[in-house]
Amino acid sequence: MRKYIFLMLLFAAGACKKNVDTGVVPASTSVVLSTSGLDSSNNLVLVQLNAANPVAFNWTSGSNRGNNSSISYVLEIDKAGDNFASPLLLPQGKGVFTLGWTIGQLDDTLLNHWKATPGSATQLQARVVATVSGSGLTPDTSNVITLNLTPYQPVSTTLFVVGSSTPGGLDPTQAAPMTPNPQNPTTFTYQGPLAVGSLEFITTLGQSLPAYIMGASNKVLAYRSSAAQPDKPFPIDSSKVYLITLDLLTLNISIVPVAQPPYNQLWIIGAPFPNGWDINASDPTPPAQMFQNPNNPFIFTYAGILATGEFKIPTVVDGNFNVTYYRPIVSDPPITDNRAQLVPFGSGLADANDYKWEIYTPGPYQILLNTQVDTIAITPFTPYPQLWIMGQINSWSTSGATPMVDSTPYIFTYKGEFPLGEFKIPTSVNTASNYAIPYFRPYMQHPPLTDTLCQYVPVGGGIADEDDYKWNITTAGTYEVIINQLLGTIHIIYVGP
């Protein structure tokens, strides 16, 4: 209990608004206490959706009664009827006339300090005691305010999916974590393969209870807190990739299948590529493999310096050319033709005539194949002439972003001191501090610094842009950052303290 009150005092010191104390206070006036964020009768039903909303106690300065001394204030809060016999004491010092909480912090205080019952009104009383420094005068006590506060039971901030349908099975220690929505942390999502079976949701990894199970239908959750309560998991009738979205406040849930990519590995063979027409992955010079985007597994990419000649995209590389390929719609189309098709062996004209794409002009290219809509982009690569580093290193100022050094047309480097914190790599800067610009970003938020993957993300370019993915420095010191725009790689090398 003492530890909790001490933490409350620390919060009070940080949350209140401080005014400069000059020692001069108004002439003979009493301290008057009021509130904000409650209704006119000081009633409030706390709701978790409003957890970030502010509530506050405010008071007037009172009087030093002509003593020319400063005044210090203590806010006292106690249960109604206890007559402030053992109140929660929140000293505010001098020149302080407000103390603020969020609804979430107030709810936490009601549940943990006053042991209030969620959903039931708790009546508290508050007053401010003002003491004139060094005067020996009797402290001035404000009016008493009665508060009627109804707390909520906060839902879990973590959630895991467990069951025979999940990759981790029935073992709660192997349950898969769900992802909370940053804008509404009471909603969670999970996407991944599920087998035929069933599943439910636990709040703590390794513990089967409490859990959320199926309610009145497969679109509604129910809360299960005891082994004596019936256990009704959600059934999964077919093996597919599913997207699960649920809200712990509304208890709504959606479990819907999503399309799976037809392949999780693809290669490119042909004259433009370093290993040519080699179609055997076990050879010393195996075929060039495409990169599957971890944020969108339907998308495969390849980047590099290409020679002239034809190419196609096999789905199997076991030494046999008689396999299914991704091919163009016509033979040797212009690279501006973005159509592609999946062609099984012996399936028709495209396979019989061995349709292929062709590179006519050698140079750097980036190739992107979307297997969901069967399109291909074959793009000559033009590097950005300048890149910058933006983050804690320069207080997130676009106009003050740190320029990187051009090593080659594709590679930029920077070596310098990095503080703790995040960074990303913008492709332009301006004095208007406009952050809506393309960036080079990681494929996930805060990847290990040993992860060498980075991606070019245009404005509105998907989850990496929506979630503002960045790299994160956890050990301050000197680092060398090397980014290759063409290949989409980055090396973040710790040099020393």
Convert the pLDDT of each residue in 78-119 to its tens digit: 999 999 999 999 999 998 999 998 998 898 899 999 899 988
Question: What is the C-alpha separation between 294 and 463, in angstroms, rounded?
Answer: 11
Q: Which of 142-151, 236-245, 307-316 has the lowest mean pLDDT?
A: 236-245
> What's the whole-model pTM score?
0.50
Q: What is the pLDDT of residue 467?
A: 86
Which DSSP helix (H) or strand (E) runs through 212? strand 207-214
Q: Specify the DSSP class assigned to residue 174.
A: G
Q: Does the pLDDT value for residue 219 go beyond 50?
A: yes
- The pLDDT confidence band at residue 50, using thresholds 50, 70 and 90, is confident
- CA-based angle 147:148:149, to the nearest 5? 105
- The pLDDT confidence band at residue 18, using thresholds 50, 70 and 90, is very low
- For the segment 295-309, the average pLDDT, to the nearest whole number, is 94
Q: Does the pLDDT value for residue 157 go beyond 50?
A: yes
CATH architecture of structural domain 388-496: Sandwich (2.60)
3 state DSSP class of 49 = helix
Q: Quote the percentage of the chain above a pLDDT of 70.
A: 94
Question: What tokens appear for 258 in the block?
Answer: 């999503």
**Residue bearing the bigger pLDDT, 326 or 464:** 326
In terms of phi and psi (left: phi > 0; alpha: psi -120 to 50; beta: otherwise), the region of 372 is alpha
Q: Does the pLDDT value for residue 22 go beyond 70?
A: no
Question: What tokens appear for 359 in the block?
Answer: 């590179």
Q: Which of 11-15, 186-190, 312-316, 344-348 has the lowest mean pLDDT?
A: 11-15
Q: Quote the percentage of the chain above a pLDDT of 90.
A: 66
- For the segment 248-265, the average pLDDT, to the nearest whole number, is 90
- For the segment 372-388, the average pLDDT, to the nearest whole number, is 93
By the 8 A CB rule, do 487 and 304 touch? yes
Asked whether the domain spanning 388-496 has the same topology as the one spanning 267-380, the reply is yes
Q: Does the pLDDT value for residue 471 go beyond 90?
A: yes
Pairing status of strand 43-45 against strand 145-150: parallel
Domain 267-380: assigned CATH number:
2.60.40.3620
Question: What is the C-alpha separation between 1 and 13, in angstroms, rounded?
Answer: 19
- The pLDDT confidence band at residue 17, using thresholds 50, 70 and 90, is very low
Mean pLDDT of the chain: 89
Question: What tokens appear for 126 in the block?
Answer: 């508050």
- For the segment 315-329, the average pLDDT, to the nearest whole number, is 93
Domain limits of the chain?
2-150, 160-258, 267-380, 388-496
Q: Does the pLDDT value for residue 273 go beyond 50?
A: yes
Question: What is the C-alpha separation between 455 and 368, in angstroms, rounded?
Answer: 13
Q: What is the pLDDT of residue 433?
A: 60
- For the segment 467-483, the average pLDDT, to the nearest whole number, is 95
How far the first Cα of the chain sits from its last, in Å, is 42
Domain 2-150: assigned CATH number:
2.60.40.10
Q: Does the pLDDT value for residue 475 go beyond 80?
A: yes
- For the segment 111-132, the average pLDDT, to the nearest whole number, is 92
Q: Using one digit for the tens of pLDDT, what is the confidence trace for 385-443? A: 999 999 998 878 777 789 999 988 899 999 999 999 999 999 988 755 678 889 999 99
* 491-to-166, 240, 418, 451, 464 alpha-carbon distances in Å: 35, 36, 15, 8, 19
- For the segment 328-356, the average pLDDT, to the nearest whole number, is 91
3 state DSSP class of 11 = helix
CA 386 to chain centre: 29
CATH architecture of structural domain 160-258: Sandwich (2.60)
**Residue bearing the bigger pLDDT, 460 or 379:** 379
**Residue bearing the bigger pLDDT, 271 or 19:** 271
Pairing status of strand 357-359 against strand 299-306: unpaired
Question: What is the C-alpha separation between 183 and 181, in angstroms, rounded?
Answer: 5
- The pLDDT confidence band at residue 14, using thresholds 50, 70 and 90, is very low
3 state DSSP class of 392 = helix
Q: Using one digit for the tens of pLDDT, what is the confidence trace for 159-192? A: 999 998 887 788 999 899 999 987 788 899 998 7
Task: Please name the amino acid found at residue 18.
Answer: K
Which DSSP helix (H) or strand (E) runs through 5? helix 2-15
**Residue bearing the bigger pLDDT, 10 or 460:** 460
Question: What is the C-alpha separation between 233 and 220, in angstroms, rounded?
Answer: 11
3 state DSSP class of 305 = strand
Q: What is the pLDDT of residue 465?
A: 86
